[in-house]
Structure 1
Amino acid sequence: MKAFNNITHIYFIGIGGIGMSALARFFKLNGKVVAGYDKLETEITQKLQQEGIAVYFSNQSQEIPVSFQDNKKTLVVYTPAVSRENPLFQFFNQKNFLIKKRAEVLGMITSGIPTLAVAGTHGKTTTTAILAHILKQCGVKLTAFLGGISENYQTNFIADGNEVIVVEADEFDRSFLHLTPSIAAITSMDADHLDIYKDEKTLQETFHAFAAKIANENHLFYKAGLQNIDGKTIGVEERADYAVKNIQVKNGRYNFNLETPKKLIENIVFSLPGRHNLFNAATALAMAIKFGLDEDKAGETLASFKGVDRRFTYHLRNENHVLIEDYAHHPTEINSVYQAVAEMHPHQEVLAIFQPHLFSRTKDFMNEFAASLSKFNKVVLLDIYPAREEAIPEVTSEVLLSLISTEDKRLAQKSDLSEIVKKSSAKIIVMMGAGDIGVEVESIKKVLQNEA
């Protein structure tokens, strides 16, 4: 915190983001006066306000409190998702405030403290949350910046101490290059964020640059099969340095062994569905063991991990209906959701409701999205969630729908969903997307419970 000694006030532009809100909580805990702006009121902004952090929903500079207008004492933190044309950003920039990206600030916080970082285009949020859970349950005094809400602790920020910091290393805008981890993992390097990287080769080169920041290759873990990385491999039922073996499903939970270079950890129990989550668990466990935890004790903690909000979250599970929500917004993630549903609920009819996220991603992976969604029995598509983007001509949900081979498919507005679900014969309802589809979950749940 020495880098922030002369700073008394911190203002966040985009404070409602999952990564930004964790930073806001960190600085509030460390005695700084914290406030920020966000476009929309959400559950996260409401909780920040309850914790004593002022949140404003107007981007006009006259809304900035007077106490935050001293450029000698105030640090401004922004997320790349916020436009440089934002009036608040313009105001602070013109007044010569110290302005830093969220990732740069995270790098400053972690500097000089043992840091465990998880990178990857898929799986990093869940893996980071599992790792933080293992360490916390084993008594390690940690600080954790999570990319989602841990269901165990109902927060994205854990502040037990500074023996180690656990962070999600975000590849968007090359943010993770600000970190210098002691131990790190790369869960995947699939093409994504091509609006930033232009092509898959450039994306992978950036991951390789992140990997090169790890001084000791024995402290870097990566998914077996990834190329041009030196470290320890993680695999599920395949040859790897850390290999998940003898997988069984008992009472809706996984039982498996993890073979490590030193020993076999047996009878690990883990509740999150999907082989991808077995990989995430093995990765977190390998990192925790490298940090110095006892293998068996660390393995035992996985049984009590509940998950991360919006990552294969069960909102309803009874004899008549199952309602699952997942943040899946990439074809690979949709494939993983399908695999998990098929394994945990075999031979059941599944209705997939999907909200595409970003015009650029939909354009880049139009055929791949169609292939992954075609696996489901029934498909409902919402309009593309634009987030930070303007519309791209001829990139629409209608075009995507035309490429999906499932016969029972349709477009819908969010207001249509309750009626669609009410009339559907599917027992399993899966709602997927990284936009605002999550706000519809409660109304769908009520329909399925016949409360609507």
Structure 2
Amino acid sequence: MEKYHFIGIKGAGMSALAQVLHDLGHEVRGSDINKEVFTEHQLRDKGIKILPFDEENITEGFTYIAGNAFDDDHIEIKRARDLGFPVVRYHIFLSNFMSRYTSIAVTGTHGKTSTTGLLSHVMNGDVDTTFLIGDGTGFGLEASNYFAFESCEYKRHFLSYHPDYAIITNIDFDHPDYFKDITDVVTAFTEMAAQVNKAVIAYGGDEYSRQMNLDLPVWFYGLGSTDDVQAVNIDTTGEGTHFDVIVMGEYLDRFTIPMFGDHHVLNSLAVITICYLEQLDMDNIKNAFVTFGGVKRRFSETFVNDMVLVDDYAHHPREIKATLETARKKYDGREIVSVFQPHTFSRTEKFLEDFAAALAESDKAYIVDIFGSAREESGDLSSDDLVSLIPGSELLYEAELSRLNSHAGAVIIFMGAGDIQKYEKRFTELLS
């Protein structure tokens, strides 16, 4: 048994890794800021101690895993290094950890968390699979030979990994505070894909994924006739979505997923491709799809009175479109209301017109104040600039949430990557 202390344990990836190591029988504790974060309850439920940052936390006998959000001059990192104790950055530790497994990295600009959650659930329907998801969820199984994990492109962190497989859900321009342009993003993904050991599984409808020139097998999945793994005969019922899967021109099986929207079909195809390549039992895989319950902050529903309140992490125009597509298909005929919190000034400015076009597909859109970042200046941009581009949209302040009561029977979707959850929580309290 090893002893680990996580510096910044409440971070989504750090929390998940801490849970994995705890489940594998190691002694795990960590430290972080004294502020409630959505990952906390999972750590506390497993009895993992969370301490406030303090250099007195640094004692002999622990390996210190440092979150990427903290610089080398952080009080605990500096103290550990001054005392000569081992300090390992999160992505370096994870790279070494996965070498003992058949590893599957799930990456892409959008859909990473949903696909990793689906992959880990479905694979565990047939084989023990340790997993790490970007919503702060992690689980370690001592007997597992597989490791599924979410791999983030931000600051090229995914270049630390050399997985056996990589799923690329899509390649799009995001993180304008780091990437220069789409060419910079494509270069990063191509470099990552070149480090894969066995095969890349990529969405065939993505023009940038198709442009990658790689010296290893690439399996394209999608809805097109040129894809290696295709979904055809797609039907939607009250139970979810049903579709046939064709692999290299041959019928594989018919699958049912308890989800709605083409993006969920595509995520499922990526998972099916991994299971096919690893020759897992397809009957067990089919049954596991049916019991998938989703991941945190991805179309998470609460039913209050006659309303459906949805919490969703969507913070990019393409993600907003996918979330609204799910709402339309699942709740056909209901009014769809968006309450959107723009995330960072740089992203809002870069995608202002794209945000407007995506949100205009709502029946009604409300925009709250931009959630800024400590690493950027606000400039002259405000949520008013977005409201001016969306017909019929309005600004909404936390003190005015009762205005949403006018949408009786509606599906109200609270979207964003900042603290939009406080708006949903407050409105739920008002309804209760």
TM-score scaled by length of structure 1: 0.87
1:344 is the counterpart of 2:341? no
**How many residues get paired?**
424
Match for residue 265 of structure 2?
278
Matching residue's letter, 1:18: A
Q: What's 2:30 paired with?
A: 35
Contact 1:252 1:344 (C-alpha < 8 Å) held by counterparts: no
Native 8 Å contact 2:20 2:131 kept in 1: no
SS of match in other structure, 2:148: strand
Q: Which residue of 1 aligns with 2:158?
A: 176
Equivalence map 1:345-360=2 (5 Å): 345-360=331-346
Q: Note the aligned Cα RMSD (angstroms).
A: 2.3
Equivalents in 2 of 1:265, 1:420: separation in Å?
Answer: 50
Tell me if the contact between 1:349 and 1:427 (Cα under 8 Å) persists in the aligned partners: yes
Aligned partner of 2:394 among 410, 418, 434: 410
Q: How does 1:317-396 map to 2 (within 5 A)?
A: 320-396=306-382
Q: Does 1:259 align with 2:242?
A: no
The 8 Å contact of residues 15 and 38 in structure 1, kept in 2 or not, is answered as no
Q: Which residue of 2 aligns with 1:401?
A: 387
TM (norm. structure 2) is 0.90
Q: Against the structure 1 CA distance between its residues 97 and 395, is the aligned structure 2 distance closer, same or farther, given a 3 Å change threshold?
A: farther
Task: State the 1:83 CA deviation.
Answer: 4.7
From 2, 8, 13, the equivalent of 1:14 is: 8
| Distance verdict in 2 for CA 1:14–1:242, change over 3 Å | same
Change (3 A) 1:426 1:387: farther
Q: Tell me what 1:152 maps to.
A: none
Moved more, 191-200 or 323-332: 191-200
Matches within 5 A, 1:105-116: 105-116=93-104
Aligned partners of 2:233 and 2:88: how far apart in 1?
A: 48
**Higher deviation after alignment, 327-336 or 160-169:** 160-169
The answer (yes or no) to whether the contact 1:265–1:299 under 8 Å persists in 2 is no
Q: Residues 268 and 356 from structure 1, CA distance in 2 versus in 1: closer, same or farther, beyond 3 angstroms?
A: same
- What secondary structure sits across from 1:35 in the alignment? strand
The structural deviation recorded for 1:107 is 0.5
Question: Structure 1 CA distance, aligned partners of 2:112 and 2:104?
Answer: 12
C-alpha separation in 2, matches of 1:162 and 1:428 = 40
Alignment of 1:196 onto 2:178: yes
Q: Is the 8 A contact 1:329 1:432 kept in 2?
A: yes
Q: What is the CA–CA distance in structure 1 between the aligned matches of 2:142 and 2:125, rounded to whole Å?
A: 11
- Residue type matched to 2:293 in 1? K
- Matches of 1:428 and 1:49 in 2, distance apart? 33
Counterpart of 1:11, as a letter, is H
Residue aligning to 2:203: 223
Contact 1:75 1:97 in 2 (8 A): yes
1:69 to 59, 71, 78: 59
CA contact (8 A) 2:125 2:287 kept: no
1:297 aligns with 2:284: yes
| Stretch deviating more after TM superposition (427-436 or 22-31) | 22-31
In structure 2, do the counterparts of structure 1 residues 158 and 413 end up closer, same or farther at CA, with 3 Å as the change threshold?
farther
Q: Which amino acid aligns with 1:113?
A: Y
SS at match of 1:127: helix
Q: Distance in 2 between matches of 1:304 and 1:263?
A: 26
Post-superposition CA distance 1:211-250 (Å, at most 9, x none): 111234xx21101132323511110355311111111111
- Cα drift, residue 411 of structure 1: 1.7
- Asked if the contact 1:117–1:183 (Cα under 8 Å) also holds between the matched residues in 2, the reply is yes
The code of the aligned residue for 1:211 comes to A
**TM alignment of 1:95-244, pairs within 5 A:** 95-138=83-126, 140-148=127-135, 155-159=137-141, 161-216=143-198, 219-224=199-204, 225=206, 226-229=209-212, 230=214, 231-236=218-223, 238-244=225-231
Task: Name the aligned partner's letter for residue 228 of structure 1.
Answer: Q
Letter in 2 for 1:133: H
> Is the contact between residue 322 and residue 429 of structure 1 (CA under 8 Å) also seen in structure 2?
yes
Report matched runs for 1:423-434 at 5 Å: 423-425=406-408, 427-434=410-417
Return the offset for 1:332: 0.6
The amino acid of 2:297's aligned partner reads R
Deviation of 1:286 after TM superposition, in Å, equals 0.8
2:342–2:348 Cα contact (<8 Å) kept: yes
Distance 1:227 1:39 in 2: 45
Contact 2:244 2:252 in 1 (8 A): yes
- For the residue of structure 1 that corresponds to 2:332, the secondary structure is coil
Deviates more, 1:89-98 or 1:272-281: 89-98
The answer to whether the 8 Å contact 2:132/2:149 transfers is yes
Q: Residue deviations 1:72-124, cap 9 Å, x none?
A: x4333233333555444444455554333211111010014211111111111
CA distance in 2, matches of 1:371, 1:186: 25
1:128-152 deviation line (CA, Å, top 9, x unaligned): 11111111111x1221111226xxx
State whether residues 348 and 428 of structure 1, in contact with CA within 8 Å, keep that contact through their aligned partners in structure 2. Answer: yes
Aligned with 2:394: secondary structure?
Answer: strand
**For 2:129 and 2:428, how far apart are their aligned partners in 1?**
36
Asked if the contact 2:340–2:415 (Cα under 8 Å) also holds between the matched residues in 1, the reply is yes
Structure 2 CA distance for aligned equivalents of residues 360 and 339 of structure 1: 26
For 2:304 and 2:229, the matched residues in 1 are separated by 33
Q: What secondary structure is seen at the aligned counterpart in 2 of 1:367?
A: helix
SS at match of 2:272: helix
SS of the aligned residue for 1:352 comes to: strand
SS of 1:361's equivalent? helix
Q: Is the 8 A contact 2:236 2:260 kept in 1?
A: no
User: How far apart in 2 are the matches of 1:296 and 1:10?
Assistant: 39
Contact 2:321–2:358 (8 Å) recurs in 1? yes
With over 3 angstroms needed to count, the CA separation of the structure-2 counterparts of 1:69 and 1:363, relative to structure 1, is: farther
